[in-house]
Chain A
Amino acid sequence: MKRTTMAGFVLGAVLGLALGVGAYTFIYAKGASYLTNDPKACVNCHIMQDQYDGWINSSHRSVATCNDCHAPADFIGKYSTKALNGFWHSFYFTTGNYADPIQITERNRRITNDACRKCHADIVETIEGPATKHHNEADKTSCIRCHRSVGHMH
């Protein structure tokens, strides 16, 4: 009995230590900021400083933040995208194994392209005609092929 208590105590202490270190790391790394819409969170690590600086000077700075263009609008889509990107961004930044200048992934490019239609649906409709269910990905007009620098240069 006594030995079990002792064992439990040690285990608790070790788990507590792990938890404490984890919690401190989370706070130190401003973990909570990633759940917000504040663009400053995207430059916690300095990789996206250029994009952030570009956005500050862009035409969209007062109407759209990073998440408006780089995350889907619906709750599940938004947070699953944040989780997925968050994991891989952390992974690559920690290991240091990434291409520089950074490049957008295909999935994120699609999300960004779709995001234009959140606000500019009317003008897109005049270009493409009314959206139908048969409309497949390939038929969609790519907004950012031409308007690549509206959010930020590069």
Chain B
Amino acid sequence: MNTKSTSKNRESNQQRGGQILKFGLAVGLAALIAIGGLALLVNIMEHKQEAKNPFFRVVELTDDTEDPAVWGKNFPVQYDAYLKTVDQVRTKYGGSDALPKTPTQADPRSIIAQSKIEEDPRLKKMWAGYAFAIDFREERGHAFMLDDQTFTGRQAKPQPGTCMNCHASTYVANKKAGDGDLVKGWEKINPLPYAEARKLVQHAVACIDCHDSQTMQLRITRPAFMEGIKVLKASQGVKDYDVNKHATRQEMRSYVCAQCHVEYYFKGPDKRLVFPWQNGSKVENILAYYDEVGYKDWVHTDTGAPALKAQHPEFEMWSQGIHARSGVACADCHMPYERVGAHKVSDHHVRSPLLNINKACQTCHKWPEEEMKARVESIQASTHELRNLAMDALMDLIDDLKAAKAAGKPDAELAKAQDFQRKAQFYLDFVEAENSTGFHAPQEAARILGLSIDSSRKGQNALRPGAATTTTAAVEKK
């Protein structure tokens, strides 16, 4: 009896144990479902929160707040990206390597970009007698603009305060110098010696140079662009164009960049910064303007040619390309939209689209990254090849001119060839100094290099004994 009851007890114990196990499993499963449900709920809630107003005003910004770090407190996402422009990355035809350098008293930079004139000594010959033949390096990000200007070897030749317009955040400095009048202040700073003007600025290009401090809307702060775009629009038949009133938001997303990424010159003893767009912004329009006003950047030491130096005409080149025609702005590719939480922000890490193909290109072009890169590089390879041909042609012309000069040919007979050199160099430099190796407008870049080669060879012809007056290129007749 004893044994019987124990075994019965054991059986019922086992039964109960099984039931408890099943019950426990069911509770555990239900709990897991509840956990899953809650986790999902919280996730959805977080996503909904992201979609709400992400802007927290922790500091008050005014029209005099120059320091980007202060703006960064209100706009940390944009500021973080902006700080990344210190990156030095190479693409096949652009960017730069970060080379170590021993800091000196005169030049405290510990990292610089490699020298372009050492890479291609033909540049030195092209710019003989001009400051660019002393020191000219590969491009670096916005973060370096002020230092690279302050410490460049080109400072060996006196530079004016005008340089500040594009190498520093000058909006507040200009306003201060003009007692509240932006244009007056700018006119005051332009003729100052570089070192004097340098004391008035602290930062590389900053938030306030492109944004209104109250509305964050894009706005133009550089008088030279206000004047430049006004005459350009006038040449197209638009009268009294006021860029800050008349430009659309999408146009502004290119115009703020065009405040600096353009061809320019310093006019007269006031060293006024002028964008030469009176006749239009194509290369021959600009050259015609310089011819009209009789401007030259310097006299070429080897040949005596009244030479011109083109400087980063990105805006002008882009204007002739298919992307501009399709309404694609600078910022669409160089500051593409990215998603941060639920919000669309412009990537303030301004850089080559080739380093961010996914966001920069693939929003519109549904091809693999490798394919996109190959397309760009094939355009650049062709442009680079043409550029080298044009460069060799120019070297031939310079050699011939030099020889003719040494042989004692009178100046009157050299003048024609010297003018061709001026043309050939300006055309070549217009593509060379432009930072896309032809990509911004492939056909236009090729056309310009064609003009350059043509001018160099015609210049050589003009030096032949008894050279008949050669016809000028078709475009120049217009």
Q: How many residues of B contact A (CB 8 A)?
A: 28
Size bin of chain A's contact surface: 20 to 34
B40 partner, pick from A15, A17, A25, beta carbons under 8 A: A25
Contact with B along A4-28 (1 / 0, CB 8 A): 0001001100110110011011001
How far in angstroms is the closest Cβ of chain B from A10?
7
A21 with B37: CB separation less than 8 A: yes
Stretch among A58-66, A75-83, A93-101, A118-126 lining the B interface: A93-101
B residues near A28, Cβ cutoff 8 Å: 41, 44-45
A46 touches B37 (CB 8 A): no
Q: Are A46 and B23 in contact (CB under 8 A)?
A: no
A143 within 8 A of B: no
Asked if A21 contacts B41 (CB within 8 A), the reply is yes
Q: Is A128 an interface residue (CB 8 A)?
A: no
Decide if B344 touches A50 in the complex (CB within 8 Å).
yes
Residues of chain A contacted by B342 (CB below 8 angstroms): 46
Which residue of the partner chain, among B30, B38, B51, B358, contacts A46 with CB atoms under 8 Å? B51
Contact yes or no, B41 A18, CB < 8 A: no
Chain B neighbourhood of A11, CB < 8 A = 23, 26-27, 30
B30, A17: Cβ atoms under 8 Å? yes
Residue of B nearest to A43 (CB): B51
Closest A residue by C-beta to B23: A7
* B147 CB → nearest A CB, Å: 35
Cβ-defined contact, B34 with A14, below 8 A: yes
Task: Name B26's closest neighbour in chain A (CB-CB).
Answer: A11
Known: A46-B51, A94-B43, A100-B339. A21 touches B38 (CB 8 A): yes
Q: Which residue of A is nearest B30, CB measured?
A: A14
CA distance A71 to B344 in the complex (A): 27
Nearest chain A CB to B19's CB is how many angstroms away?
A: 8
Is B464 an interface residue, CB under 8 A from the partner? Answer: no
Closest A residue to B16 by CB, please name it: A3
Apart from A29-B40, A46-B50, A94-B40, 15 more pairs, CB < 8 Å? A10-B23, A14-B27, A17-B30, A18-B31, A21-B41, A22-B37, A25-B41, A28-B45, A46-B342, A47-B339, A50-B344, A94-B43, A99-B358, A100-B338, A101-B359
**Which B residues contact A (CB, under 8 angstroms)?**
19, 23, 26-27, 30-31, 33-34, 37-38, 40-41, 43-45, 47, 50-51, 338-339, 342, 344, 358-359, 362-364, 366
Instruction: In the A-B complex, list the 9 residue pairs whose CB atoms are closest, starting with the nearest.
Output: A21-B37, A14-B30, A18-B33, A18-B34, A46-B342, A25-B41, A22-B37, A15-B30, A101-B363
